[in-house]
Amino acid sequence: MMLRTFRQHRIRTTDTLDGFWQCAVGADIPGRKKKPSLYPRHVHVPCSWEMIPGLESYRGTAWFKKKIPHKTGFATRLVFGGVSHTANVYVDKKHRGSHYDAYTPWSILISSGKKESSECIVEVDNSFGEHSALHIPNDYYTYGGITRPVEIQYVPDVYIESVHATPCRRKNGGWSLNVEIQLHNRTGRLLERSVRVEIAGQSCELGPVSVRANDIYTATKKITVDGVASWSPQSPRLYLLSTVLLEDDREVDDLIDRIGFREVRVKGKEILLNGESIRLRGYNRHEDHPQFGCSIPVEGMVADLNIIGDLGCNFVRTSHYPNDMRFLDLCDEMGFFVWEESHTRTVDFRHPKFESQIEAVTREMVEWHFNHPSIIIWGCLNECESETRFGRKHHKKVIDLIRSLDPSRPVSFADNRYSNDICFDLVDIVSMNIYTGWYKKRPEDVGAHIDTLIKWLNGKKSSGGKGKPLIISEFGAGAEYGCRHRSRMHWSEEYQCDILDESLRVYLNHSDICGACIWQFSDVRVTEEKRWWATRPRTMNNKGTVDEYRRPKLCYDIVKRRMHEARKHHGV
Ligand code: ADA
């Protein structure tokens, strides 16, 4: 399986590195910190090692080894879709790169010289501690392994590093595209190249440009594109954007991405897609499955989206981290709106690694996922310290970073400090996680509770959220699959029905609310460490509408009815 659901190169030679890797697991050799000499296991990549019998809750280090072929005259580029959560890469015993955070792609470049092949070792660590500010014991599970696909690519002296395209609606209803292309010169010489951009049967050239030695050159171009259909959930029309690198007149490299023509804007309390108001109805989803850990195969992703679609939803929040690019591809193809979130669930801003790690993961998320039309909101910093001056400083920094990387999408964070929050002025969309009826109050209090919050939001003492769109980014209730009781007690499927039914009745029909996102799609595993969430039954977050095997709970049909009614009423 490749990193994406479609072919990204016709000129650049690429191959998958998925399949069996030799592997040594720290659990088999206690006390060992250095690279092992024997690799007794064969582990199929991508995988979460907790799926291997005997390693169900292993937290530590494992080494993955594979022989990688080179290609004369080209550098070898390894692209990792995701390694959970810290990786060190050694090629022919030399340390060639490292990466922190499970949820973003990254790459390393190897000059092979005259070698035909090399030995590549990826050291993977999923432990918690001082070295990790974002992966911490949490209300979800940090799995271990090379958890997403890996690709090998062969790149020439100058190659296309990335392409970002921003569609802009013209006054006459047509489209233009702002394209930014990064060319990487990996040699010590100044080199001249040009680039051809092809989109929807149109073609234009940029250059010649001189790319300095060991440097990145950014070329930009505004292209007017005629005769294209726009992207929307009802009609998710996609186009291939092909960039071809030319040396003299010879095609030497390429990069193909897929885009959709759509524009997202915020106007008053509304979110507009191509000028039309939209309502978001959806789910928070973790990458989690009892048979695959976080390495859900593409068929499983499609199955999840089919369920979400059947439920009448049009929206997925990738709580609480950037998702596998194939999942985002599927959302583009199947017409789902996405709130993609940088990696955070209630972390300590004072952790010495926090600033550098949040900056890196946020930067990588926007850079790698820039072109997905399905992503209409960038999210960050779920339930963090948004009520202090110190916390505000950090919110501002991350939000400013996202805006500097992509000014075209609205930004939000999911708040749980409510009227103590002092950060709503920083975002385009106000979002709140509210568990009325579950942690506090009763299901029948949902309406009164949200009205009190909205009154505060629009009142004099509000922190700047007044007049902005409002999304209820989480609400829900835990229910153990199969736990039915006429008392409708906590943890029964009946009580989950009561909370979801009333919450959806209120939120989907409220004129001040433009999005309702249920917590959560499926039941998920939580970290076993002794934190309060480890007291959850089965050490799982049981608020799924389907259980971990995707078996529908009693609430399924209630959610489906409410969501479909709302769709009929509001369109989209
Ligand atoms: C929070 C958090 C989720 C989950 C949820 C819950 O709001 O954002 O990750 O922990 O609450 O189940 O309580």
Distance 416 CA to ligand 1 centre (A): 10
Answer yes or no: are the C-beta atoms of 58 and 25 closer than 8 Å: yes
pLDDT given at position 42 = 97
Q: Identify which of 413, 474, 496, 527 to mutate to test ligand 1's pocket (most ligand atoms within 8 A of the CB).
A: 474
Which residue's C-alpha comes closest to atom 7 of ligand 1?
433
The amino acid that residue 16 corresponds to is T
Please give the share of the chain, as a percent, with pLDDT higher than 90: 93
> How, if at all, do strands 430-433 and 470-474 pair?
parallel
Other beta carbons within 10 Å of 79: 18
Distance 434 CA to ligand 1 centre (A): 9
Which residue's C-alpha comes closest to atom 3 of ligand 1?
139
pLDDT given at position 135 = 98
Distance 541 CA to ligand 1 centre (A): 9
For residue 31, pLDDT beyond 70: no
> How, if at all, do strands 315-317 and 337-341 pair?
parallel
Name the average pLDDT for the chain: 96
Ligand 1 atom closest to the Cα of residue 476 is 12
Distance 342 CA to ligand 1 centre (A): 16
Ligand 1 atom closest to the Cα of residue 139 is 10
pLDDT digits (tens, 9 = 90+) for 67-96: 999 999 999 999 999 999 999 999 999 999
For residue 248, pLDDT beyond 80: yes
Distance 426 CA to ligand 1 centre (A): 23
State whether residue 253 is helix, strand or coil: strand
Q: Identify which of 139, 496, 520 to mutate to test ligand 1's pocket (most ligand atoms within 8 A of the CB).
A: 139
Give me the mean pLDDT over the 11-20 stretch. Answer: 98
Distance 138 CA to ligand 1 centre (A): 10
pLDDT digits (tens, 9 = 90+) for 549-558: 999 999 999 9
Which residues surround ligand 1 with Cβ inside 6 Å? 139, 345, 382-383, 416, 433, 474, 519, 541, 543
The amino acid that residue 176 corresponds to is S
Please give the share of the chain, as a percent, with pLDDT higher than 70: 99
For residue 568, pLDDT beyond 90: yes
pLDDT given at position 112 = 78
Answer yes or no: are the C-beta atoms of 178 and 222 closer than 8 Å: yes
Give me the mean pLDDT over the 17-43 stretch. Answer: 88
Distance 452 CA to ligand 1 centre (A): 22
Which of 116, 152, 153, 150 is CA-nearest to residue 43?
Answer: 150
